Structure 1
Amino acid sequence: MKTLRLLLLPFGLLYWCIVSVRNLFYNMGIFKSYSFTTPIIVVGNLSTGGTGKSPQTEYLIDLLSNDYAVATLSRGYKRKSTGFVLADATTNADSIGDEPYQFYKKFPNIRVAVDADRKNGIENLLQLSPKPEVLLLDDAYQHRRVKAGFYILLTAYDDLYADDYVLPAGNLREGSSGAKRASVIIVTKCPPNLSGEEQDAIAKKLNPTPEQKLYFSYIAYDDRVYNTTNSIPLKELNGNSKIIVAGIAKPKPFFQHVKQVGDVCLTYPDHHYFAEKELKELAVIATNKVIITTEKDYMRLVGKLPDDRLFYLPIKSTFINNGNNFNTTILNYVAQSTANR
């Protein structure tokens, strides 16, 4: 694999040049960026995925939605629709994508929309009544056509952008210098007991600017699994053979947390669309067994497998330290932007 990446370095250099020129044109104003008076927070990364954008977006929804009318806007990756789509009672994962559908089902008090053209999506959301007071843009760090007021850059603990290369030699969508646009940087998926010394070493490697704040978070798993009608303590399922299904970018931690002796783990590509043949095979494999999957995968599987045997395990983003400081930073940005508006 390392040899292949070395061979791809010349193509990575070409890709880096193209992206760098694009960013330069936006910085110089040759390519136009559009600003809005409504507070806009972007959650994104430099890499191609697997940094925990969805749980971080849900963290922001929890933080803000009690005091503000919140709307999320995503691209709607792998959806079967086009253009601007606002989630409603007829929506499913096919029409808006699994992650936006998860937001919609989990937070009924917010607006959820998808549009590959973020500017168009924002304009459509701001025409709604009542108008959203805060917009959360999921996976829009490279969408320079919209200039947000606050940028949250995520990088995974075991795959820091400082250790990676641009595509196709590595997994970065743009060079690590793109991190300078971030308001805050969060190192995600850390061990919960990450020491201060390790945090300092990572901070030295990432080298944030004096204006940027650096945080560390981990993924906390729920102690129960859920479906549309029921929930079961996860520990009650230990000792019973289970089928564990994951179609996410980095499923290893999920498998390690859930798997017990005798369980069968099935891995699929990220955002995988389960064909009818695969669903039938899953149903046969899971005969008289419980299927446990991620919340994102559940959005694509619900209604397609027996509901009494299909469960998902929720996760949430949790800060190792300084979480209150992060909350205050976000709340202050939104309050100040709202007052200025």
Structure 2
Amino acid sequence: MDLLRKLLFPFALLYGLVMAIRNFLYDKGILASNSFDVPVIAVGNLSVGGTGKSPQIEYLIRLLSPKYSVATLSRGYKRKSSGFVLADASSSAEILGDEPYQFHLKFPEVLVAVDADRTNGIQQLLPHKPDVILLDDAFQHRKVKAGFYILLTAYHDLYADDFVLPMGNLRESRSGAKRANIVIVTKCPKVLPGSEITAIREKLKLTPQQQLYFTYIDYEDKVFSRHDSVPTDIMKKNEKIMIAGIAKPSPFFAYLRRDGDQELTFPDHHAFTEADVSSIKDAAAGRYIVTTEKDYVRLKDYSLDKLYYLPIKSAFISGSDSFDQAILDYVGKSTANGSIH
């Protein structure tokens, strides 16, 4: 693999150059960005997947929705619809994509929309008068100029240790991080020594204006099915099969695993088929089936007995009050981010 990556180095240089020129043209205003008269927060990453964007979007929804009318706008990865779609009672994972559909089920009071064209998506949302729009996975979507950028980077896969595609996993060079107002190191251990925090801060080389936070994945104390819930500690002790179609399933499996459990792994955003479900039933053989919340929204309409999911959420190691205040200050003070042009 190391040899292959080295062979790809010239292509990575070319890709990096193309992205650098693109960003330069946007930074200088030669390529136009659209801004809007509503607070827009973009959450994203430099790398390809696996940084915990969905838990962070959900954290922002919980923070903002008690006071503001919140809308989320996602691409709707692997959905079978096209164009702009606003979630309603007839929506499904096939129409919205799994993560937006998860938002819709979990937060019915929130406007949930999908559109690969974020500019058009925001324009379509504006008549619904949201107080704030959360852009999911839109850090590189330069056609929209968000008022606030949150950049995520995973603890075990820092962008500072990576390289651009195809030699590495970065969508653009590390210098793109300078656009972020806040950088969050996600998926950390619950306890992180101060010396390690300092080392990571020095490695990321943030500007004095940028804020840095550290979060970990926290699991709910219950697993849920369509009809009931079971304490997570009890489920851990039961014989079961675990299913994950997410980018990095190892922590999920490790958290629930007991000796004798079976683990079934599918590609990220996998569209489950009847054949998959039949295989899952055969493997379960009457045992409990526990999956991720993202996978559950794609499996819940199949006939699977004892199907449960384990919700996760983003939790701050420290500084949550400071983070919350930064977001609330931006939204509260932003009566406008400019006008579209």
Query: Is it true that 1:326 corresponds to 2:328 in the alignment?
Result: no
Superposed CA deviations along residues 171-217 of structure 1, whole A, max 9, x for unmatched, are 10000000000000000000000111110000000011010000000
Q: 2:298 aligns with which of 293, 297, 300?
A: 300
Residue 122 of structure 2: SS of its match in structure 1? helix
Deviation, structure 1 residue 234? 1.7
Query: Counterpart in 1 of 2:238?
Result: 240
Residue type at the aligned position of 1:311: Y
Residue 218 of structure 1: SS of its match in structure 2? strand
Query: Counterpart in 2 of 1:161?
Result: 159
Task: Tell me if structure 2 keeps the 8 A contact 1:151–1:182.
Answer: yes
Query: Counterpart in 2 of 1:98?
Result: 98
Query: Is it true that 1:336 corresponds to 2:333 in the alignment?
Result: yes
Query: Is it true that 1:276 corresponds to 2:274 in the alignment?
Result: yes
Unaligned runs of 5+ in 2: none
Deviation, structure 1 residue 123? 0.2
Query: Counterpart in 1 of 2:248?
Result: 250
Unaligned runs of 5+ in 1: none
Mapped partners of 2:235, 2:145: distance in 1 = 47
Query: Counterpart in 1 of 2:309?
Result: 312
Residue type at the aligned position of 1:118: R
Runs of 4+ in 1 over 2 A off after TM superposition: 237-240, 338-341
Task: Tell me if structure 2 keeps the 8 A contact 1:162–1:176.
Answer: yes
Query: Counterpart in 2 of 1:264?
Result: 262
Deviation, structure 1 residue 283? 1.2
Query: Could you tell me the TM-score, scaled by structure 2's length?
Result: 0.97
Query: Counterpart in 2 of 1:71?
Result: 71
Mapped partners of 1:51, 1:190: distance in 2 = 11
Q: 2:132 aligns with which of 120, 131, 134?
A: 134
Mapped partners of 1:221, 1:238: distance in 2 = 13
Mapped partners of 2:142, 2:336: distance in 1 = 25
Mapped partners of 1:340, 1:91: distance in 2 = 31
Deviation, structure 1 residue 338? 2.6
Task: Tell me if structure 1 keeps the 8 A contact 2:222–2:229.
Answer: yes
Residue type at the aligned position of 2:76: G
Deviation, structure 1 residue 340? 8.0
Query: Counterpart in 2 of 1:230?
Result: 228
Mapped partners of 2:108, 2:237: distance in 1 = 36
Task: Tell me if structure 1 keeps the 8 A contact 2:36–2:337.
Answer: no
Residue 338 of structure 1: SS of its match in structure 2? coil
Deviation, structure 1 residue 127? 1.5
Mapped partners of 1:88, 1:340: distance in 2 = 28
Mapped partners of 1:132, 1:228: distance in 2 = 31
Residue type at the aligned position of 2:321: N
Task: Tell me if structure 2 keeps the 8 A contact 1:5–1:170.
Answer: yes
Deviation, structure 1 residue 238? 3.4
Mapped partners of 2:237, 2:312: distance in 1 = 22
Superposed CA deviations along residues 202-244 of structure 1, whole A, max 9, x for unmatched, are 0000011010000000000112100222110122223432110
Aligned residues with identical type, % of pairs: 60
Mean Cα displacement is larger for which, 240-249 or 89-98?
240-249
Task: Tell me if structure 2 keeps the 8 A contact 1:239–1:261.
Answer: no
Mapped partners of 2:98, 2:188: distance in 1 = 25
Deviation, structure 1 residue 339? 7.5
Superposed CA deviations along residues 79-123 of structure 1, whole A, max 9, x for unmatched, are 000000000000000000000000000001110000000000000
Mapped partners of 2:261, 2:131: distance in 1 = 46
Mapped partners of 2:15, 2:269: distance in 1 = 25
Mapped partners of 1:275, 1:7: distance in 2 = 37
Query: Could you tell me the TM-score, scaled by structure 1's length?
Result: 0.97
Residue type at the aligned position of 1:91: S
Residue 277 of structure 2: SS of its match in structure 1? helix
Query: Counterpart in 2 of 1:201?
Result: 199
Superposed CA deviations along residues 17-40 of structure 1, whole A, max 9, x for unmatched, are 111111111111111100001000
Change in 2 beyond 3 A, CA 1:239/1:7:
same
Superposed CA deviations along residues 59-92 of structure 1, whole A, max 9, x for unmatched, are 0000000000000000000000000000000000
